[in-house]
Every structure is written in C-alpha cells, then in structure tokens.
A and B are shown apart, each in its own frame.
Chain A
Amino acid sequence: MRSRTILIGVLAAALLAGPMLATGWAQPKEVFIPLLVYRTGAYAPSGIPIANGFVDYFTLLNERDGGINGVKVTWEECETQYDTKQGVECYERLKGKGPTGAVLVNPYSTGITYQLIPKAAVDKVVIFSMGYGMTAAADGRWFPWVFSFPTTYWSQASAVVKYIGQQEGGLDKLKGKKIVHIFHNSPYGKEANPTLETLARQLGFELTLLAVDHPGQEQKSTWLQIRRINPDWIFMSGWGVMNQVAVKEAAAIGFKMDHFIGNWWSANDSDVVAAGDGAKGYKGATFHAPGTGFKVHQELVKNVYDKGKGAGKKEDMGAPLYNRGIVNAMLAAEGIRTAMTKYGNKALTGEQVRWGFENLNLTEQRLDQIGMKGFTHPIKVTCEDHEGNGPVLIQQWDGKKWNIVSDWITPMRDVVRPAIEAAAVQEGQKLSYTKRDCSKEK
C-alpha cells in the first residue's frame, strides 16, 4: 500500500508539473533555426551525419564570421526519430523561439514536410525541403513558403535516365533496354515512378517497378524477380535498412554493381559498409561532391574541430550525407544573407527570409568565396521556380570512398516542369491556395 501512495503522489506531481516549455530568450541580433534531427532509431545512420554537417557549418559561421553578416545563428536540435508525430511536436515547440521566432525549418522527412506545409504558411516560417518533400511545391506560384532547390525527385529521375543514356551511348540507345526501379513502398519511394513511366514511353525502355515494403530487411523475392528480369540497369529509391540489404543482395546475385544506381537517400557510407567489398562499383545520385577535399572542410577543421567544437568525429567528415548537411546549412545561410541585402543585418522575420530564398542567386564566385567551388553547383531561385533545376552528379563507391564519375547532368526540364505545374494545381487546390502572379512580386 505504501508504494501505491507514493506512486499516486508522484503521478499527481508529474501531471501538475506537466510538459512545461522553456521560454524563449530575447537577444536582438540572432536568427533562430529549429533543427529537426533524428539521431536515434531506425534511420539514425542517415540522420546523424546530416545533423552533424548542419551544426558544424553553423558553428563555423559563428566562430569564423560571428554569424551571418554579424547576426549570430542560433539553433536548437529536436529529436524526431523520423516520426511524423514527434516532428510536429518539435515544430510546434520550437517555432516561437528566438527573437523573431523560427525563420525556416528543415523537416528532413517527407512525412513531416507534408505536415508542415499547411502550418508553416500560416505561421510564416519558410520550409526548406532540400531535394525531398512535396515535388509539386517546386512551383512557387502555388507554394510561396516551400523551397526544394537545388532539385527534386522528378528531376533526379530524369537525370539518372539521362546518365544511363550517356553510358549506353545516347538516349536513343535506351530503346528496348530493361530498367528496374526498386522503391520503398511509401509516398517517398513512389515519387520517381510517374517520371520514369513518362520517360519509358518516350524513350522506349522497358520499365519494371518493384516495391519493397517497409522496413525491407527481407528482399529475397524482389531480387529473385530481378534475377528473372535480368535488367540492364537498376535504379533504387530506398531508405534505411532497405538500402543496405539491397546493395548486399545485388552483390550476392552477382549483379553488375556499376549498373546499380541509388537515389540521393540511398548512397551514403552507411548504405554500403554492411556489404563490404561487394558494394564496390555501386553508384548513387547526388547534387554535391562527397569527400573532404574542399576549402570549406579545411575551414571546418581549423575553426570547429581543432577547437573541440565539432558535432561528430573528424574522420566522419566527408560522407555524402554529412556534406549534404553542409550544403543545406550553406544554402539556408545564403538565403538569409540574400534577405539581409534588402532588410539589413538584423534579426529577420520569416517573411523577410522567404524573400531572400526567393531571390537567391548563388553564383560561381560566391561558391568560391565560401570555399565550395566545385562542391556544389550554382543555383538561381525565382518566384515561379523554387527548384532551380539544379543539375545532378553520379558518384561511385570504390570500396573505401565515394568518387564523382560523371559531369553535372542537367535534368530534363521539358519533361519534369509541366508535370510539376500540373501537380501544383492539384495539391494547391487541395489546400485552397490560389496561384499568385509572379510579375507582381517585388
């Protein structure tokens, strides 16, 4: 009975204390960015390097330059475990922090992005879903608050087909070739399907779509079907453990690994380590270079890691997803910097940052200045185009590290853009949005 009494007391106390909120702190010259991360759970192997890259780049900005044009970047991590409901909780908790509230959010999950798209427009927070999320939102006329530059899943699919064409000696040579798309059986995984189907019709290749159910530890039947189809190329939109198992199964059935291309969420170090030597030759799409051979990495070592402020281990730098975190942080920072050219070097609001994102013009010189020449491609965002039609690279695993094996491949805009505009009408109307007139934007 005693313990019950204590228990009741504890319960009552816990309920009264409740989930209290840490109150925001008010400092004038700051810009606050909530970081939705997943460092635990089934997807942590992908989530950790992204989060580290992010945090390291912001630390670099603060340490080296004292922030963005002197305005300090502050952030708070919130663990989502890649779970939509936890992601929404994180967003609601963090959106009011900082002197002007959260200015932008990187949901880092397609599911969370979909949750936040209707909310963020009301809260005036920019959603920056870099290379994921709702493809239709790349039409900025319908979705002013959502940015997905430098590129989208549909552009990626078209670029990969273009690459396959290059390897086969021209797009016309694709006629009669067999291409298999293995995809995670979720809205994310299915993203590339319509683009691939359109291209299959246009170019005459034989497309087979094979779904792998979540989580994808057991893919024997998928790979048995691949054995039978005996495709010329495999493209994969995988996620989590599905990637590791797929790479391993491909190696086990002796598939030509250099004809197996993962999308940019399926080609990280963690996706290939489990397969060991078998993964040699496996390719992946990306929109930035892997490795640590860039000036920004030296700066990171000097200003962040050597001061003991690194988020991860120094030897883990350069993994594709770590670099993606850097690129994402850099694009966010450059968007804010663009906004500052108009609104001044102060704590900006979400609305001001949105203008900055919409008018971002990242040039070759600017990339050179921030130590990222060749690391990623210049990009120009406009009111109509929140994707920027950024080009795609193909990287290849050599057993120890990823190497770039292609030139920048420009996606087939003529195929992708009409589809995006059609989808934007559909998705925008669902949310009762209206199309804005871009010629009237300042």
Chain B
Amino acid sequence: MSNILYGVFLAPFKDMAGSPAFLAEVLIGGIFAGLLYSLVALGFVLIFKASGVFNFAQGVMVLFAALTLVGLMERGVPVPAALLLTAAVMLALAFVIERVVLRPLVNQPYIILFMATIGLNFFLEGFGEMLWGANVKKLDVGIPDRSFIVAGVQINQLELFAAVTAAILVAVLAVFFQRTRIGRALRAVADDHEAALSIGIPLKTIWVIVWAVAGGVALVAGIMWGAKSGVQFSLSLIALKALPVLILGGFTSIPGAVVGGLIVGVGEKLGEVYWGPLVGGAIENWFAYVVALAFLLVRPQGLFGEKIIERV
C-alpha cells in the first residue's frame, strides 16, 4: 500500500525535481502539443459561438483542407496559388453548407444540427478521398524537422514553428472578433440571433463568414498536423484530441480554447511520462478527458464558457 502511495504521490515529483531539464522538455512538449490541439478546437469554438452548431465535421474539414492543398501542390500548382485556391475551396464549401445544410435547419434543436454535421462528415470523407486518393502525401512546410538544444532542453524547430503559427492565428482571431465590424456582428449573433437580425445584421452572411473562417483555421491545422504525419485520412481523427480541450475551455471562448489546449497538452504529457509507467502507459487519451472532467465538476460550463443561467 505504502508502495503505491509512494509511487503515485512522491516518486513522480522526486523524479521531476531530479532532472529539471527533462521536466522542461516535457512541459515544452506539452505546450506545443496543446497549442496544436487548440488550433483544432478553435474551429469548433468559432462555429459553435456563431451558430450554436457542434460541428462534428471539423476533423474532416481539417483533412479536406489539407488534402486539397497537397493535391493541388502535387499537380504542380505553386504554393501561394495552392494556398489561395484551397482557401477559396473552403469558402465555397462554407457557402454550400450554409445553403444546403444550415438554412433548411434553422431553429432546429441542437442535436439535430449536430447530426446534420455528422452527415456532412460522412459526405466529406467520401468526397475528399474520391478527389485526392487515400495515399499518404508528404507536406513540406519548408521548416526542417530537426531539433536544437537550449540549456540542455531539446526543442523541435517544426513544433516551435507550428506553435508560433497557432499563437499568431489565435491573436489575429481575437483581434478580429474584438475590434472589427464583422467581429462585433458575430458576437451579436452569438448573443441573440433574433435581436441581431432585428438590428439589420445579415445572419446568412455571418454564418458563411464563420464557416469560412473555421475552414481557414482547419486549413492551418491541417498544414501543421499534416507536416507531422503526412497528409492522410487519419488527420480527421485529431478532432477527438480537441474535444477535451473544447469542454475544458468552454464551447464559446477563444481564449478558453487556448488555455484549455495548454492545460490538456501539459497535463497529458506529465501524466503519461510520470504516472503512465505505473499502470503500463498509453493513458494519454483518457487522461485528457479525466483532466477535463475534473475541471468541469468545478465549473460545469468550462473555464471560460458563458455562465449557464438556469431558469424554470
């Protein structure tokens, strides 16, 4: 018994104190991974904020965007043009989704909209693969995947680059939502879309914009994750890694997605490296959810989610 207690409560901390450089490496690894999770979670937050839809298809949108980009590049389209074209495709996709899926389902219960995005998920899965094939495609972002060492701590260039990109993107989005006209309109829609309609905010346009922005975020996430693993079908599965981030941060908060990502990223790395060996490892997946669950029990709306006001 005392052995178990020692293993759970003391040994990991002694271990951390014993080798601070390694601890730093674990923390940095967690932060980088966490930022990449928030990148995916952001797509969910944007859409949920503006249209109240829990977009199950976000993971497939990541895949679809990355596939389109790499597919175009493979066919000899220069990189900037391919990026623009992919962005255009994601915009077109947002148009179609608004027109075909969202508009006929206005005012339906949230679970129905959720189910509709599942339909969208199946459709895009088949469509993306039919267009671009199922093989692994290499995606080179021009940053060598090599590490350098600072004060005994190994840092991966590619991950650093991805993390910085994610941070910049979040900052840009935050400014976009806080400072621009469209951003204000968006927040108005999120607060109360009937009131927003009555003061002349075009709901349909806003939805298209939000889905297009989420498509753009998906593209960036697709590039970053695709650089790690090659662009392939499995990219769509990273949505599962974003879900704990999402509930932890709150469905409606952009800063929440970032903070949630960091907590989950660091939490799961610490858990896996220091406590995982006690039970045989590979605990990361559920550990992230348990971390999120622990936070939720204290704040049921997530860290930064809007306070849930209960009325009879």
Find chain A residues with CB under 8 A from B32 CB.
220
Given the known A-B contacts A276-B140, A278-B145, are A221 and B229 also in contact in the complex, defined by CB atoms under 8 Å? no
Q: Report the nearest A residue to B15, measured CB to CB.
A: A228
Does A274 count as interface, using CB distance less than 8 angstroms?
Answer: yes
Binary contact track A187-217/B, C-beta < 8 Å → 1, others 0: 0000000000000000000000111110101
Asked if residues B134 and A45 are in contact (CB atoms below 8 Å), the reply is yes
Given the known A-B contacts A45-B134, A45-B136, A225-B273, are A248 and B238 also in contact in the complex, defined by CB atoms under 8 Å? no
Asked if residues B273 and A240 are in contact (CB atoms below 8 Å), the reply is no
Asked if residues A40 and B158 are in contact (CB atoms below 8 Å), the reply is no
Size of the B side of the interface (Cβ < 8 Å), in residues, is 44
* B108-161 contacts to A (CB < 8 Å): 129, 134-140, 145-147, 154, 156, 158
Shortest C-beta distance, A252 to chain B (Å), equals 5
Given the known A-B contacts A217-B225, A221-B272, A276-B138, are A248 and B145 also in contact in the complex, defined by CB atoms under 8 Å? yes
Asked if residues B138 and A217 are in contact (CB atoms below 8 Å), the reply is no
Which one, B166-174, B274-282, B296-304, is touching chain A?
B274-282
Binary contact track A245-267/B, C-beta < 8 Å → 1, others 0: 10010011110000000000000
Asked if residues B229 and A244 are in contact (CB atoms below 8 Å), the reply is yes
Find chain A residues with CB under 8 A from B146 CB.
252, 254, 278
- Contact with B154, one of A217, A225, A253, A278 (Cβ below 8 angstroms): A253
Does A7 count as interface, using CB distance less than 8 angstroms?
Answer: no
Rounded to whole angstroms, the CA-CA distance of A41 and B126 in the bound complex is: 9
Given the known A-B contacts A212-B282, A245-B228, are A240 and B234 also in contact in the complex, defined by CB atoms under 8 Å? yes
Given the known A-B contacts A210-B281, A217-B238, A224-B29, are A273 and B269 also in contact in the complex, defined by CB atoms under 8 Å? no
Rounded to whole angstroms, the CA-CA distance of A211 and B147 in the bound complex is: 24
Asked if residues A220 and B269 are in contact (CB atoms below 8 Å), the reply is yes
Asked if residues B154 and A211 are in contact (CB atoms below 8 Å), the reply is no
Binary contact track B1-22/A, C-beta < 8 Å → 1, others 0: 0000000000000000001001
Asked if residues A213 and B285 are in contact (CB atoms below 8 Å), the reply is yes
Q: Report the nearest A residue to B280, measured CB to CB.
A: A211
Does B268 count as interface, using CB distance less than 8 angstroms?
Answer: yes
Find chain B residues with CB under 8 A from A210 CB.
281
Shortest C-beta distance, B307 to chain A (Å), equals 32
Asked if residues B230 and A274 are in contact (CB atoms below 8 Å), the reply is yes
Does A234 count as interface, using CB distance less than 8 angstroms?
Answer: no
Rounded to whole angstroms, the CA-CA distance of A271 and B134 in the bound complex is: 14
- Contact with A211, one of B158, B225, B281 (Cβ below 8 angstroms): B281
Asked if residues A40 and B129 are in contact (CB atoms below 8 Å), the reply is yes
Determine which residue in B137, B139, B146, B230 has the highest number of CB atoms from chain A within 10 A of its CB, and name it.
Answer: B230
Asked if residues B285 and A248 are in contact (CB atoms below 8 Å), the reply is no
Given the known A-B contacts A211-B282, A221-B284, are A241 and B229 also in contact in the complex, defined by CB atoms under 8 Å? yes
Shortest C-beta distance, A426 to chain B (Å), equals 22
Q: Report the nearest A residue to B30, measured CB to CB.
A: A220
Does B74 count as interface, using CB distance less than 8 angstroms?
Answer: no
Determine which residue in B139, B232, B241, B269 has the highest number of CB atoms from chain A within 10 A of its CB, and name it.
Answer: B232
Asked if residues B135 and A44 are in contact (CB atoms below 8 Å), the reply is yes
Shortest C-beta distance, B205 to chain A (Å), equals 27
Does B26 count as interface, using CB distance less than 8 angstroms?
Answer: yes
Asked if residues B26 and A42 are in contact (CB atoms below 8 Å), the reply is no
Asked if residues A221 and B233 are in contact (CB atoms below 8 Å), the reply is no
Does B247 count as interface, using CB distance less than 8 angstroms?
Answer: no
Determine which residue in A42, A212, A218, A251 has the highest number of CB atoms from chain B within 10 A of its CB, and name it.
Answer: A218
Rounded to whole angstroms, the CA-CA distance of A252 and B272 in the bound complex is: 20
Does B191 count as interface, using CB distance less than 8 angstroms?
Answer: no
Given the known A-B contacts A241-B232, A273-B230, are A218 and B154 also in contact in the complex, defined by CB atoms under 8 Å? no
Does B237 count as interface, using CB distance less than 8 angstroms?
Answer: yes
Q: Report the nearest B residue to A183, measured CB to CB.
A: B282
Find chain B residues with CB under 8 A from A222 CB.
272
Find chain A residues with CB under 8 A from B269 CB.
220-221, 224
Find chain B residues with CB under 8 A from A213 CB.
282, 284-285
Find chain B residues with CB under 8 A from A244 CB.
136, 229-230, 232
Shortest C-beta distance, A327 to chain B (Å), equals 21
Find chain A residues with CB under 8 A from B25 CB.
224, 227
Does B41 count as interface, using CB distance less than 8 angstroms?
Answer: no
Given the known A-B contacts A221-B269, A241-B229, A245-B229, are A45 and B135 also in contact in the complex, defined by CB atoms under 8 Å? yes
Given the known A-B contacts A39-B134, A245-B229, A253-B154, are A217 and B140 also in contact in the complex, defined by CB atoms under 8 Å? no
Asked if residues A221 and B268 are in contact (CB atoms below 8 Å), the reply is yes
Find chain B residues with CB under 8 A from A211 CB.
280-282
Given the known A-B contacts A40-B129, A252-B158, A253-B147, are A48 and B238 also in contact in the complex, defined by CB atoms under 8 Å? no
Asked if residues B225 and A251 are in contact (CB atoms below 8 Å), the reply is no
Find chain B residues with CB under 8 A from A245 CB.
228-229
Rounded to whole angstroms, the CA-CA distance of A218 and B281 in the bound complex is: 14
Asked if residues B147 and A273 are in contact (CB atoms below 8 Å), the reply is no
Does B210 count as interface, using CB distance less than 8 angstroms?
Answer: no
Does B33 count as interface, using CB distance less than 8 angstroms?
Answer: yes
Q: Report the nearest B residue to A245, measured CB to CB.
A: B229
Find chain A residues with CB under 8 A from B29 CB.
220-221, 224
Q: Report the nearest A residue to B270, measured CB to CB.
A: A221
Asked if residues A42 and B135 are in contact (CB atoms below 8 Å), the reply is no
Asked if residues A218 and B33 are in contact (CB atoms below 8 Å), the reply is yes
Asked if residues B229 and A227 are in contact (CB atoms below 8 Å), the reply is no
B interface with A by C-beta (< 8 Å) = 19, 22, 25-26, 29-30, 32-33, 129, 134-140, 145-147, 154, 156, 158, 225, 228-230, 232-235, 237-238, 241, 268-269, 272-273, 276-277, 280-282, 284-285
Could you list 10 A-B pairs, sorted by A, with CB under 8 Å? A41-B233, A218-B33, A220-B269, A221-B269, A221-B276, A224-B22, A241-B232, A245-B228, A252-B145, A273-B137
Q: A42-B234, A44-B134, A211-B282 are in contact. List 10 more A-B contacts (CB 8 A).
A: A45-B232, A217-B225, A218-B238, A224-B29, A224-B273, A240-B234, A244-B229, A253-B154, A276-B138, A278-B145
